[in-house]
């Protein structure tokens, strides 16, 4: 074998290179089967509502086809905004998917504009976009909505474990940061004796609690927590009172100071009362504050082997139709109890598809006589809600053993689908920082999975025709 040494000494030069995209490229084929006008109809109300002064027809035009393409690519490959910007600039197939040859004066959007477009869409719109893909799959014959399996999954919020010791330290740090700004910039605090917090003492008490022996008895733990709480309350009481009385609406105040000041003003006293109640009664109040930057968060018990015992976030309801496409239900609350989700999921199914579900399968968590009745009224022929062993009453629609086993086995197939959605998106742990964007990231994880399924089935169809 001979060896070529050309190009080893030369420097690379900028230039124009033509890259050919095959007609059967997956992204090109996906672009041609997506109903872009339908997507535009879904996002337009939000874009019009979030335009300054409501005059969406004025100013520089938003290239909707470019941003819709970038939006789908981002969730198809689970990219960050900066990664997506680099990929659009460097990948010719992605450029064509984003309308390179279709849009006049095409350009790659900046990562800040990608984030701005996504943030202008409401969670309801993200959910509609996630569910519109499987309706297209049904029209193309890739999916069958008559077979439905329903299950729930938990999404972890972007927050640390809400231990009281950690939150007390975090509260002290936030108060210290805000009063440092006040002491330096706001009259009359900058000319008189400034407010002070002994943060070193607070952190010393926190370290004493953190590094206590594993065999420490409960009374000692409670005593250490009370000492830390009393110190935090004493040190921050005056500062919290002053912050609550002040206004932080001036444009000169940095955004991070405004954010922390608002959290302190609205949440600090409530949180301190919650901790005091726990110390005095050993019982946690139902609406205890778990995070200073998130409100829509609850503690969910996780029974999966190998995972965390407790997850702090929200629960999503998912349904799988034949063909392995997922439908995501609207999160009306963070808990989304299984027993009360059947009716909403069946209603969503009927809104999306013209065909009624013939068979519906769920696990034991969804069982109730009411849910059996709901499915019967929805013209479901085979009701596969698994019942606990201690249920002795006969079900409304009793199935033969072979059909019952068939539905149980079929329902188990939704578990790996949920696993794929969680691992390829943000349904496992979101990287977003607000309640609205965390909920939206759960919907877009389902969107990305459905797009992958659409590419897979369309590619298989093309290869079948070619063969």
- pLDDT digits over 114-147, tens only? 999 999 999 999 999 999 999 999 999 999 999 9
Tens of pLDDT, residue by residue over 342-376, are: 999 999 999 999 899 999 999 998 998 899 999 99
pLDDT (average), residues 238-263: 88
pLDDT at 467 over 60: no
Residue 165's alpha-carbon distances to 104, 203, 205, 232, in angstroms, are 57, 10, 9, 10
pLDDT of residue 393: 61
In this prediction, residue 10 carries a pLDDT of 86
Confidence at residue 308, expressed as pLDDT on a 0 to 100 scale:
78
List of E strands, 4-143: none
**What are the backbone angles phi and psi of residue 300, rounded to the nearest 5°?**
-115, 130
State mean pLDDT over 290-298: 92
Residue 417: CB atoms within 10 A of its CB come to 20
Distance of CA 418 to the CA centre of its chain: 14
Average pLDDT over residues 27-47: 94
pLDDT value at position 252?
A: 83
As a 3-state breakdown, the chain gives helix, strand, coil percent values, each rounded to 5, of 55, 10, 40
- Which pLDDT does position 306 carry in this prediction? 67
> Is pLDDT at 213 greater than 90 in this prediction?
no
Provide mean pLDDT across the span 318-337. 94
The model's confidence at residue 246, banded by pLDDT at 50, 70 and 90, is confident
Q: State the pLDDT at residue 19.
A: 84
Average pLDDT for the chain? 90
**Predicted TM-score (pTM) of this structure:** 0.91
pLDDT of 22 over the 90 cut: no
Quote the pLDDT of residue 400. 85
Res 387 pLDDT > 70 = yes
Is the pLDDT assigned to residue 416 strictly greater than 80? yes
What is the model's pLDDT at position 191?
Answer: 63
**Alpha-carbon gap, residue 221 to 223, rounded angstroms:** 5
pLDDT at 220 over 70: yes
User: pLDDT class for 309, splitting at 50, 70, 90?
Assistant: confident
The mean per-residue pLDDT over the stretch 139-162 comes to 93
66 versus 393: the higher-pLDDT residue is: 66
Average pLDDT over residues 96-103: 93
Check residue 277 and give its pLDDT: 92
Task: Tell which residue, 195, 212, 217, 208, has the closest CA to residue 168.
Answer: 208
What gap in Å lies between CA 296 and CA 439, rounded to an integer? 9
Helix axes 218-245, 255-281, angle to 10 degrees: 140
Q: Which residue has the higher pLDDT, 59 or 73?
A: 73
User: Given this model, what pLDDT does residue 397 score?
Assistant: 63
Q: CA triplet 246, 266, 180: central angle to 5 degrees?
A: 50
Query: Mean of the pLDDT values across residues 439-461?
Result: 94
Residues 427/48, Cβ–Cβ less than 8 Å = no
- Please count the residues of the chain: 467
Residue 66 CB burial class (10 angstroms; 0-12, 13-18, ≥19): buried
Q: What angle do CA 377, 378, 383 make, to 5 degrees?
A: 90
The DSSP 8-state label assigned to residue 52 in this structure reads G
Residue of higher predicted confidence among 63 and 395:
63
Q: Does pLDDT of 1 surpass 80? A: no
Give the separation between CA 258 and CA 285, rounded to whole angstroms: 28
Whole-angstrom CA distances from 208 to 202, 217, 231, 280 are: 10, 14, 13, 21
């Amino acid at each position: 074998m001979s060896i070529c040494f050309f190009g080893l000494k030369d420097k690379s030069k900028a230039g124009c290179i033509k890259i050919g995209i095959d007609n059967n490229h997956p992204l090109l084929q996906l672009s041609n089967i997506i109903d872009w006008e339908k997507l535009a109809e879904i996002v337009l109300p939000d874009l019009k509502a979030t335009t300054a002064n409501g005059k969406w027809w004025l100013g520089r035009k938003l290239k909707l086809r470019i941003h819709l393409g970038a939006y789908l690519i981002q969730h198809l490959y689970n990219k960050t905004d900066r990664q997506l910007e680099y990929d659009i600039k460097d990948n010719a197939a992605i450029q064509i998917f984003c309308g390179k040859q279709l849009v006049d004066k095409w350009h790659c959007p900046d990562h800040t504009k990608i984030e701005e477009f996504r943030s202008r869409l409401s969670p309801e719109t993200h959910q509609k976009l996630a569910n519109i893909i499987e309706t297209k799959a049904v029209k193309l014959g890739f999916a069958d909505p008559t077979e439905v399996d329903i299950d729930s999954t938990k999404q972890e919020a972007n927050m640390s474990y809400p231990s009281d010791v950690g939150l007390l330290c975090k509260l002290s740090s936030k108060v210290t940061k805000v009063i440092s700004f006040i002491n330096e910039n706001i009259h009359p605090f900058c000319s008189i004796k400034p407010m002070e917090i002994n943060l070193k003492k607070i952190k010393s008490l926190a370290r004493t609690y953190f590094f206590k022996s594993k065999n420490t008895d409960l009374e000692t733990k409670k005593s250490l927590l009370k000492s830390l709480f009393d110190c935090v309350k004493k040190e921050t009481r005056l500062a919290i009172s002053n912050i609550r009385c002040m206004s932080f609406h001036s444009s000169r105040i940095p955004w991070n100071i405004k954010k922390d000041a608002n959290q302190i003003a609205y949440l600090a006293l409530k949180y301190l009362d919650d901790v005091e109640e726990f110390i005095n009664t050993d019982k946690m109040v139902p609406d205890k504050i778990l995070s200073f930057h998130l409100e829509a968060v609850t503690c969910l018990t996780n029974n999966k082997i190998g995972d965390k015992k407790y997850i702090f976030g929200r629960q999503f309801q998912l349904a799988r139709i034949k063909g392995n496409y997922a439908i995501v239900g609207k999160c009306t609350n963070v808990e989304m109890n299984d027993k009360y989700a059947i009716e909403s999921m069946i209603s969503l199914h009927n809104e999306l598809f013209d065909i009624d579900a013939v068979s519906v399968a769920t696990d034991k968590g969804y069982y109730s006589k009411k849910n059996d009745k709901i499915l019967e009224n929805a013209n479901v022929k085979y009701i596969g809600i698994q019942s606990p062993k201690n249920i002795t009453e006969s079900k409304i629609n009793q199935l033969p053993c072979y059909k019952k086993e068939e539905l149980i086995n079929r329902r188990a197939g939704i578990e790996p689908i949920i696993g794929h959605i969680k691992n390829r998106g943000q349904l496992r742990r979101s990287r977003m920082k607000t309640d609205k964007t965390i909920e939206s990231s759960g919907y877009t994880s389902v969107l990305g999975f459905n797009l992958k399924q659409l590419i897979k089935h369309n590619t298989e169809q093309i290869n079948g025709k070619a063969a």
